[in-house]
């Protein structure tokens, strides 16, 4: 499940970053767009938040897969 979260947050972050860039280019070309309730910086900040969430989820998944087993920590693996 964590891998799906990491994958989706990464791609949503990429989409937000691309939309922010396109919005900025259109604004420079056409001029400011009136009547829109948010700025390109909102999409940029959302992309940063999603990238941080993707990195945190990937790190959690990696740490969980490299965690030693309970028997390895006690040193009693295989003993009756």
Q: What is the pLDDT of residue 54?
A: 92
Residue 71 lies in a domain: no
Residue 77 lies in a domain: no
Residue 72 lies in a domain: no
Question: For the chain (length 80 residues), average pLDDT per consecutive 10?
Answer: 86 91 87 74 90 92 77 54
Question: Taking the alpha carbons of 68, 70, 74, 78 in that order, is the dihedral positive or negative?
Answer: negative
Q: What is the pLDDT of residue 62?
A: 86
DSSP state of 32: P
Residue 10 lies in a domain: yes
Q: pTM here?
A: 0.68
What is the number of structural domains in the chain?
1
Contact, 43 vs 20, CB < 8 A?
A: yes
Residue 75 lies in a domain: no
Q: What is the pLDDT of residue 18?
A: 93
Residue 55 lies in a domain: yes
Q: Which domain holds residue 38?
A: 2-65
């Amino acid at each position: 499940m964590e891998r799906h979260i990491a994958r989706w947050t990464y791609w949503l972050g990429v989409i937000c970053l691309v939309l922010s860039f396109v919005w900025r280019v259109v604004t420079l070309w056409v001029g400011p767009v009136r009547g829109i309730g948010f700025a390109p910086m909102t999409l940029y900040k959302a992309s940063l938040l999603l990238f941080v969430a993707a990195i945190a989820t990937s790190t959690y998944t990696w740490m969980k897969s490299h965690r030693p087993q309970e028997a390895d920590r006690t040193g009693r693996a295989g003993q009756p």
